[in-house]
Amino acid sequence: MDLVSLPTLAVLSDNVTIVEKDQVKIVRVIHEKATAGIALHGGHVVSYQPTGQQDLIWMSEKAIFDGKAALRGGIPVCWPWFGRIAVPAHGFARSSEWELVEHRENDQGVIVELALFPSEETHQIWPHMFDARLIVEVGDKLKVTLKVTNIDDEAWTFSGALHTYLNVGDITQAQTTGMGSEYIDSLLEDQVCQGGDTLVLTDTIDRVYTQPAAQIKVEDKVLDRTLTIENHGHNSAVLWNPWSQGAQGMTDMADNGYQTMLCVESTVHAPSIQHGVTLQPDQSYELATVISA
Ligand code: TA6
């Protein structure tokens, strides 16, 4: 995503400015190692471009920056649940307004920290007290950490995902390895299946891989690079591409948008809202993804 031409609202340091795209404020990082953008709406990474490379992150050219809808593309923060096990789908974090709480920088890169706190609105959807932080480290690699803390006086349970949309040259020429063999197939009524570890997509896919390798790799023959994804705090990794029919059904994705994206997600998958990770009062949990080329 082109961040350079966006109007500047505030200059926070040599490396960090606040810019605006329609109704959405974006923390723009420009550092000699990389540039990046993190939207306050959703706490949503919209771009990460190491110097001299194309963006590693795919954003839909039809993404709606109205400050209400979740952005199509980037790294949506799905929390406090993943998927359609409750309403809204993928939780409220990706469509809530986050606050910038800190930014710091050195020769190696920039760290931006956002926070999401409970509000009347979140309480109506999910009646728990929480402190959610998104720590985005921009340097030779991109590290995104969702840190959630239970500040309630009773336990609560969550699932979630860092739902990364990777930018690829041509989906039919991108080879993914490291997903592991066992998966839950969302297209086959959540049947548990076994498959090969090396995948080149030729059709829609929506799978929760339950035993992914420590590193997942996407070899992109067109952009001539290999993306490496390392997840932490997850119990699975999701692989998703809507293909042409799915893209046609989405108002915020161009019909051919599916050709240049692939979602590889760091996921805490749970079959229902009662399942997932349970945090006692004062306990914290971190879900992270590290992406590099
Ligand atoms: O992570 C895969 C998935 O859950 C798919 O089932 C697919 O619907 C996708 O996320 C996008 O969901 P969204 O609510 O953003 O349209």
Per-position pLDDT tens, the chain of length 293: 999 999 999 999 999 999 999 999 999 999 999 999 999 999 999 999 999 999 999 999 999 999 999 999 999 999 999 999 999 999 999 999 999 999 999 999 999 999 999 999 999 999 999 999 999 999 999 999 999 999 999 999 999 999 999 999 999 999 999 999 999 999 999 999 999 889 999 999 999 999 999 999 999 999 999 999 999 999 999 999 999 999 999 999 999 999 999 999 999 999 999 999 999 999 999 999 999 99
Asked whether residue 238 is domain-assigned, the answer is yes
Which helix H or strand E contains 173, and what residues bound it?
none
The residues assigned a catalytic role are 163, 265
We report the CATH number of the domain holding residue 246 as 2.70.98.10
Best of 62, 189, 206 for a ligand 1 pocket test (most atoms within 8 Å of beta carbon): 206
238 CA: nearest ligand 1 atom: 1
Q: What is the dihedral of CA 99, 57, 243, 179, to 10 degrees?
A: -100
Asked whether residue 243 is domain-assigned, the answer is yes
Query: CB burial class (10 A; 0-12, 13-18, 19+) of residue 246?
Result: middle
Which pLDDT score, from 0 to 100, does residue 150 have? 98
Residue nearest to ligand 1 atom 13, measured at CA:
89
Q: Containing domain of residue 230, as a range? A: 8-292
> 163, 157, 167, 150: which is closest to 93 by C-alpha?
163
Which pLDDT score, from 0 to 100, does residue 15 have? 98
Which pLDDT score, from 0 to 100, does residue 226 have? 98
d(Cα 68, Cα 251) in Å, to the nearest integer?
15
Which pLDDT score, from 0 to 100, does residue 111 have? 98
Asked whether residue 222 is domain-assigned, the answer is yes
Find out whether the beta carbon of 206 lies less than 6 Å from any atom of ligand 1: yes
Residue nearest to ligand 1 atom 10, measured at CA:
83
CA 118–ligand 1 middle distance (angstroms) = 24
**How many domains would you assign to the chain?**
1
Q: For the chain, how many residues are written?
A: 293
CA 182–ligand 1 middle distance (angstroms) = 20
Contact 71, 44 (CB under 8 A): yes
Asked whether residue 2 is domain-assigned, the answer is no
CA 84–ligand 1 middle distance (angstroms) = 8
CA 172–ligand 1 middle distance (angstroms) = 20
Distances (CA, A) of 202 to 197, 209, 254: 15, 18, 18
Omega of the bond leading into 80 within 30 degrees of 0 (cis): yes
d(Cα 148, Cα 269) in Å, to the nearest integer?
16
d(Cα 40, Cα 258) in Å, to the nearest integer?
25
CA 103–ligand 1 middle distance (angstroms) = 31
Asked whether residue 262 is domain-assigned, the answer is yes
Query: CB burial class (10 A; 0-12, 13-18, 19+) of residue 244?
Result: middle
Which pLDDT score, from 0 to 100, does residue 160 have? 98
Residue nearest to ligand 1 atom 9, measured at CA:
240
Count of Cβ atoms closer than 10 Å to residue 123 Cβ = 11
Best of 90, 262, 264 for a ligand 1 pocket test (most atoms within 8 Å of beta carbon): 90
Find out whether the beta carbon of 238 lies less than 6 Å from any atom of ligand 1: yes
Asked whether residue 1 is domain-assigned, the answer is no
Asked whether residue 161 is domain-assigned, the answer is yes
Asked whether residue 80 is domain-assigned, the answer is yes
